[in-house]
């Protein structure tokens, strides 16, 4: 995304930060009983929890100081109904209000981006604020401008950035004294002609929208000094812009402009005209030579692509763009380069000259499993595994790779990276995140070779190259964590890295049953080269929360050390010299591993540290087993994070029914488990993820751990219903599993394999007596053609597909189709109605006619 203009953005930032012109003197002093957030004539509630409740409480008390308030700030990260009720009280209780800031953005998402507030409209009663001159509604979910805003006739400044506005109303022209308007980062597609009636407007920012045209009336903004239209879709400009005689700054970069009015060069006060990154091939001489014009990123002097080249002139070919369907697993790359979008959504860009000879690239998207996924103890997987080959092929220029991934849940001090394998070792690539939609995120990286690629969430990693002269390594997530390398610590430069993991105090106290227990952040240090340093390295860790170096009991402070793959943590407090300051503890080591400071009355801390470290990595989940209402033989098995169970069940229970979810169990990232059907129930198909009727799973906390299977029974369902069960066990599928889960349940302990058992019921078959085995369905005969017209032609295949409907997977499996082939068909014919048609075509055989329009 192109950078915004310095001049205009700096002014907007100033306007947003100060909100409105400050009075020379605060008019009212906070009385002895005034709340701390009510200072003078300013009421700042945006950074206080439950700000709406605070304001409603003040209004209910009829606090006299409210009558003097002129500046109100309120966060919109509140319940929408509560927010609307609170704002309805503002006109009657704050009649002299001059500045109203109703911004979101105080909360941040998993990737650090500001989140929008819940505000979607404003009460009509706010139009009674006759003295309001400043209104900030940024970072909200406004799709239309509230009707009360154009009625605020005293409004001088209006900020609407980072909303969802697609249009502005004609009534906006009624704000005759408005001087500052910003509507950046919205979805505006056109502007109202009434915008030209804002004769007092001086600064207008419409950048980062979807504008493709401007109304001629914009030339009526006679007092406009700054206009920002960057990052839109403008292809041309109205000639009326040359009438903006007060204009000093005009920003038009990152559009699709092919021409600009020559008269812009004659605006008397214009000091900067930004035309970067457009499609300008020709400019009037007066603009081309003007010192205030910026033109970088334009194809000036180049012939247009559709113009005819003179004879003998070599054609400059555009980079080919390839869009692959699911039936293709390879594509060619030539020295010209190309841009490729795979069927799974992955994108690649091969720059010109990346390869000197044509090469064929193959790809495959693998389901994640431990053999293909390398995760650290505190990592989480966010994507499938992409394989590109030939492996190890070297490119003359780096290839760009975009991988889709699941947005991570908010976690402090973590980062998203692309991980790749080369020469039997895994490494993380420098990764940049791009957001195409609120829940469609890309991890972009430059790849020097082809191998396996996946996206992971890891604790923030800080690294450096340690020279013989020594250096200092600090944690970006925890500023108090530092490692000092003295001169002579190494003879040759070596790479070192640091990761820091935080543990919540309440989890530790619950584990130990000790109210005053506390721990420092967990520090992991690793390095390349020899295992030890030549000189001791100084490590600094912050003391556990609530503990200071001048008041702590030294007998309760423990320094713990863990060296993988050891099973226990060692207490090395007696083996090192701990130097304590008011906030930090320092000690010296000669080799790297894991370090942790504990403050507790417990004596045998090593075993407790192992349990606490496991608790850091465990995820609390529930297991569900649901049967489709109209087809009880179809069973959905899923492992869900505990906080997603209720929402998922509400969505599924329209089509499925079944028992309540299991009790909460705890699982590690990447842990294997399996589901075994018991008491006469078995899986009714040969699946690659099924071993002797037991369905295999691998738990990844951010991915969907769900599978649908068809079940059957050898028992007589005509006599009575079959009441079976499905049990979930940890680990890989063993040779033998207890036939009944009750025995495993009785032995359940900390290391028990059994996790849960849920009932499964196959109802009694009705109306089949005397019809023989397998006569459960009564359907009209299918039209399969005849000898004269041909069997299973395209026309009757389409008819068959329409009859099958959503039951086509079961029919395909019973026809003997391999499960892997079925999965391929699911993806290839994923448009509505085409999946069954593809099944019919494949069931007819390789030579059958393919349905028209497929693929």
What is the rounded CA–CA span in Å between residue 657 and residue 625? Answer: 9
Residue numbers annotated as active site: 449, 451, 591, 593
Query: Quick one: tokens of 708?
Result: 């649908």
The yes-or-no verdict on residue 21 having pLDDT over 50 is no
CA pseudo-torsion sign 209, 213, 215, 218: positive
The CA distance from 475 to 234, in Å, is 45
Please give the pLDDT value at position 647.
92
- pLDDT for residue 5 is more than 70: no
Specify whether the CB–CB gap between 172 and 193 falls below 8 A. Answer: no
301: phi then psi, degrees, rounded to nearest 5: 80, -10
What percent of the chain is helix, strand and coil (3-state, nearest 5)? 20, 30, 50
What percent of the chain is predicted at pLDDT more than 90? 35
What is the pLDDT, as a whole number, of residue 514? 80
Task: Give a three-class secondary structure readout of 576-593.
Answer: CCCEECCCEEEEEEEECC
838 band by pLDDT with thresholds 50, 70 and 90: very low
- Greater confidence (472 vs 4) lies with 472
C-alpha atoms less than 13 angstroms from C-alpha of 622 in its C-beta half-sphere: 17
Interior/surface letters 747-785, b for 16+ CB within 10 angstroms, e for the rest: eeeeeebbbbbbebbbeeeeebeeeeeeeeeeeeeeeee
State the pLDDT at residue 690: 83
* Kind and range of the H or E run holding 571: strand 570-571
Asked if pLDDT for residue 18 goes beyond 60, the answer is no
Distances (CA, A) of 236 to 186, 243, 252, 279, 375: 21, 16, 11, 10, 51
Residue 540: name the closest of 476, 597, 488, 466 by CA: 597
Q: What is the mean pLDDT of the chain?
A: 80
Q: Kindly state the average pLDDT of the residues 707-731.
A: 90
For residue 843, name the pLDDT band (cuts at 50, 70, 90): very low
φ and ψ at 41, to 5 degrees?
-100, 20
Asked if pLDDT for residue 755 goes beyond 70, the answer is yes
Please report the pLDDT score of residue 454 as a whole number: 95
pLDDT at position 168 over 50: yes
Distance, CA of 528 to CA of 493 (rounded, Å):
9
Please say if the pLDDT value at position 178 is more than 50: yes
Tell me the pLDDT tens digit for each residue of 647-706. 999 999 889 999 999 999 999 999 999 999 988 898 876 677 888 778 999 999 999 889
Of 120 and 23, more confident: 120
Ramachandran angles phi, psi of 503, nearest 5° = -120, 130
**What are the pLDDT digits (tens) for 355-407?**
888 888 888 888 888 888 999 889 999 999 999 988 878 888 889 999 999 98
pLDDT digits (tens, 9 = 90+) for 290-320: 888 888 878 887 766 554 444 454 444 456 7
Q: How confident is the model over 269-291, as a mean pLDDT?
A: 85
Higher-pLDDT residue of 114, 681: 681
CB atoms inside a 10 Å sphere around CB 702:
19
What pLDDT shows up at residue 107?
75
How much is the pLDDT for 206?
A: 93
- What is the predicted pLDDT for the residue at 323? 74
DSSP characters over 780-797? PPP--EETTTEES-HHHH
Segment 619-664, tens digit of pLDDT: 999 999 999 998 899 999 999 999 899 999 999 988 999 999 999 9
The answer on pLDDT for 248 being more than 50 is yes
22: confidence class by pLDDT, cuts 50, 70, 90: very low
- The yes-or-no verdict on residue 736 having pLDDT over 70 is no
pLDDT > 80? residue 259: yes
Across 65-84, average pLDDT: 87
Q: What is the pLDDT of residues 578-601, one digit of tens each?
A: 999 999 999 999 888 899 999 988
Per residue in 473-495, pLDDT (tens digit) is 999 888 889 999 999 999 999 99
Of 244-258, 526-540, 727-741, 794-808, least confident by mean pLDDT is: 794-808
pTM score, whole prediction: 0.56
At 781-835, the pLDDT tens digits run 454 444 444 444 444 444 455 555 555 666 665 555 565 566 656 555 544 444 4
Kindly state the tokens that stand for 44: 């700042």
Does pLDDT of 12 surpass 60? no
As beta bridge partners, residue 365 has 386
């Amino acid at each position: 995304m192109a950078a915004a203009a310095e001049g205009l953005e700096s002014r907007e930032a100033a306007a947003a930060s100060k909100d409105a012109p400050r009075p020379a003197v605060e008019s009212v002093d906070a009385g002895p009983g005034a709340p701390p957030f009510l200072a003078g004539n300013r009421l700042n509630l945006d950074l206080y929890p439950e700000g709406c409740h605070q304001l409603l409480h003040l209004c209910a008390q009829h606090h006299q100081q409210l009558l003097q308030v002129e500046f109100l700030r309120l966060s919109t990260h509140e319940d929408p109904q509560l927010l609307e009720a609170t704002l309805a009280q503002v006109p009657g209780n704050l009649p002299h209000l001059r500045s109203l800031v109703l911004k979101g953005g105080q909360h941040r998402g998993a990737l650090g981006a500001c989140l929008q507030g819940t505000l979607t409209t404003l009460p009509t009663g706010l139009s009674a604020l006759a003295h309001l001159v400043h209104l900030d509604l940024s970072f909200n979910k406004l799709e239309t401008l509230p009707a009360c805003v154009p009625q605020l006739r005293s409004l001088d400044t209006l900020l609407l950035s980072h909303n969802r506005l697609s249009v502005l109303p004609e009534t906006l022209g009624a704000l005759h004294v408005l001087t500052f308007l910003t509507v950046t980062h919205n979805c505006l597609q056109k502007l109202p002609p009434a915008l030209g009636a804002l004769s007092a407007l001086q600064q207008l920012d419409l950048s980062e929208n979807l504008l493709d045209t401007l109304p001629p009336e914009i030339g009526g903004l006679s007092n406009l000094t700054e206009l920002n239209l960057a990052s839109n879709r403008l292809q041309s400009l109205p000639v009326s812009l040359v009438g903006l005689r007060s204009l000093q700054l005009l920003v038009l970069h990152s559009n699709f402009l092919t021409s600009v009015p020559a008269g812009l060069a004659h605006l008397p006060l214009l000091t900067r005209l930004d035309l970067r990154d457009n499609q300008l091939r020709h400019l009037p001489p007066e603009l081309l030579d003007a010192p205030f014009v910026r033109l970088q990123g334009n194809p000036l002097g180049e012939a247009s692509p559709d113009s005819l080249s003179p004879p003998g002139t070599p054609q400059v070919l555009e980079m080919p763009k390839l869009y692959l369907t699911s039936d293709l697993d390879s594509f060619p790359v030539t020295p010209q380069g190309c841009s490729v979008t795979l069927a799974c959504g992955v994108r690649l860009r091969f720059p010109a000259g990346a390869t000197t000879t044509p090469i064929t690239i193959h790809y495959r998207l693998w389901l994640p499993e431990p053999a293909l996924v390398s995760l650290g103890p505190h990592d989480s997987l966010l994507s499938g595994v992409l394989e590109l080959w030939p492996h190890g092929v070297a490119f003359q220029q780096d290839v760009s790779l975009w991988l889709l991934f699941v947005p991570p849940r908010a976690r402090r001090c973590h980062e998203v990276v692309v991980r790749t394998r080369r020469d039997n070792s895994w490494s993380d690539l420098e990764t940049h995140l791009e957001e195409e939609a609120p829940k469609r995120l890309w991890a972009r990286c430059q790849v020097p070779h082809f191998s396996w690629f996946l996206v992971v969430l890891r604790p923030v990693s800080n690294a450096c190259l340690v020279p013989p002269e020594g250096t200092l390594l600090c944690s970006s997530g925890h500023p108090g964590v530092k490692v000092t390398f003295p001169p002579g610590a190494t003879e040759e430069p070596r790479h070192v890295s640091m990761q820091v993991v935080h543990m919540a105090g309440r989890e530790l106290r619950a584990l130990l049953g000790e109210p005053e227990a506390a721990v420092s952040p967990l520090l992991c240090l690793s390095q390349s080269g020899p295992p030890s340093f030549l000189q001791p390295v100084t490590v600094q860790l912050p003391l556990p929360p609530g503990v200071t170096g001048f008041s702590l009991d030294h007998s309760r402070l423990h320094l713990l050390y863990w060296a993988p793959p050891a099973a226990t943590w060692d207490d090395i407090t007696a083996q090192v010299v701990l130097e304590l300051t008011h906030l930090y503890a320092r000690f010296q080591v000669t080799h790297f591993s894991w370090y942790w400071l504990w403050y507790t009355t417990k004596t045998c801390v090593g075993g407790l540290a192992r349990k606490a470290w496991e608790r850091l990595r465990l995820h609390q989940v529930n297991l569900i087993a649901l049967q489709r209402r109209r087809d009880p033989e179809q069973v959905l098995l899923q492992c869900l994070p505990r906080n997603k169970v209720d929402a998922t069940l509400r969505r599924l229970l329209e089509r499925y029914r079944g028992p309540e979810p299991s009790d909460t169990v705890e699982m590690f990232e990447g842990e294997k488990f399996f589901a075994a059907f018991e008491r006469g129930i078995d899986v009714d198909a040969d699946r690659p993820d099924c071993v002797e009727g037991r369905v295999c799973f691998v738990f990844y906390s951010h991915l969907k751990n769900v599978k649908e299977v068809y079940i059957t029974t050898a028992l007589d369902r005509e006599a009575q219903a079959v009441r079976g069960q499905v049990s979930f066990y940890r680990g890989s599928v063993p040779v033998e599993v207890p036939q009944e889960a009750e025995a495993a349940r009785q032995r359940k302990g900390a290391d028990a394999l059994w996790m849960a058992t849920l009932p499964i019921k196959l109802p009694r078959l009705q109306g089949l007596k005397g019809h023989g085995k397998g006569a459960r369905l009564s359907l009209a005969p299918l039209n399969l053609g005849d000898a004269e017209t041909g069997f299973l032609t395209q026309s009757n295949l389409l008819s068959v597909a329409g009859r099958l409907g959503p039951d086509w997977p079961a029919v395909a499996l019973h026809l003997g189709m391999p499960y892997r082939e079925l999965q391929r068909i699911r993806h290839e014919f994923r448009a509505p109605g085409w999946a069954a048609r593809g099944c019919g075509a494949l069931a007819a055989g390789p030579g059958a006619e393919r349905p028209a329009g497929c693929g």
